[in-house]
Amino acid sequence: MDGNGSSRFLNLLPFGIPTQIIAEDPQLLAAAAAAYAHWLAEAPVAEPSIEVRLETGSPSTIGVSLDIVVDGSRLRLNGRGAEGTADAATGKASAILSPELAEYAAALTDILDTLLLFLLARRARTPVHASAFMVGDLALVLAGPSGSGKSTLALAAAERGYKVLSDDMIFVQLEPEFAIWGLPRPIHVYPADAPAGDHPKRMRSGKLKAAVPLRAAALRAERTALVLLEGGSELALSAAVPATAIEKLMDLDAGFALLKPESKKAIQALASGGAWRLKLSDDAAAAVDLLASRFAAQP
């Protein structure tokens, strides 16, 4: 963190994009640094592509829910002790945060992620609704609608020692070379599916989930295999026609349709490495073992 008068600067490289967070409150900036510890830049960012300004104050809306509105290239958020905006055209965001937020890491991280990921998604880092974990240098991208088992498989992979990129969303880069990026965050599963221990409970998409800390994170991968998740009673893995996989994934969840042309190109790139269908049983650990054994030696 660098000082300059009364302002302080946090230099980051999330998904390889030069980013600067600016705040006058040292406690607030320290909390932001903890949230993005994986992305701290070793040297100051000379010309950031993204700039986020944070200010401690009294936001007009302090409701318990976070209300997010996207209008073209602009995003507005209100609630949870914060109000903020982000403008994809300029790459700039700002937020007024209640003083208490610096002490509540999960709530502050949600607000900062909302602003920052909106801008990153419009800097050629396209979000895809999928979880992913690493088998060697290959990222297994697990895609399916909400409730299909993405987070449960990510947790099972983490418990078996595999590095996880994400439990719910990856970001696809096409230029200057193909890569996918993950954002290290807790894995959210239903409390009944969480491992033993006292895990914080959080609302995710209107459902109560347990936030399980991520043991080992991966940030980036250059090789992928796309796996479509399907319900079933017996575990089975089979090849899928890439065009069919692309069609299924283009049936986008609400929110992902905002970047439909970009999403199609991202999904096509993911499917170019091959596509498979995984029929799931109730045994997530067995599914991870099956995937790992199938792809461990893939060239």
157 HSE (CA, 13 A, CB side): 33
Instruction: Write down the pLDDT at residue 44.
Output: 80
Q: What is the pLDDT of residue 252?
A: 61
Return the structure tokens found at 252.
Answer: 């986008």
CATH of domain 126-295: 3.40.50
Question: Rounded to whole angstroms, what are the CA distances from 158 to 1, 185, 251, 288, 289?
Answer: 32, 12, 28, 10, 12
Of 115, 148, 152, the residue nearest 133 (C-alpha): 152
Q: Which two tokens stand for residue 223?
A: 């090789």
Starting from the edge strand earliest in sequence, which strands make up the sheet with 275-280, in order? 164-166, 130-135, 138-143, 223-231, 275-280, 236-239
Residue 90, CB half-sphere, CA atoms under 13 Å: how many? 10
pLDDT of residue 5: 43
Task: Please name the residue that has the structure tokens 């498979």.
Answer: 276
Q: pLDDT truncated to tens, each residue of the chain (299 aa)?
A: 555 444 698 999 999 999 999 999 999 999 999 999 999 998 887 789 999 999 998 876 655 678 999 998 999 999 888 999 999 999 999 999 998 888 888 889 999 999 999 999 999 999 999 999 999 999 999 998 888 889 999 999 999 999 999 999 999 999 999 999 999 999 999 888 888 888 988 877 778 898 899 888 999 999 999 999 998 789 999 999 988 888 888 876 656 667 888 898 999 999 998 899 999 988 999 999 999 999 986 65
Residue 30's SS3 state is: helix
* Partners of 296 in the β-ladder: none
Give span(s): CATH 3.40.50, the chain.
Answer: 126-295
Q: Which residues pair with 79 in a beta bridge?
A: 82
The residue among 117, 119, 126, 124 whose CA lies nearest residue 266 is 126
Tell the burial category of 159 from Cβ atoms under 10 Å away from its Cβ (0-12, 13-18, 19+).
middle
pTM higher than 0.75 for the full model? Answer: yes
Can you name the residues that pair with 223 across neighbouring β-strands? 138
36/45 Cα distance (integer angstroms):
15
CA distance 166 to 158: 11
Q: What is the pLDDT of residue 106?
A: 86
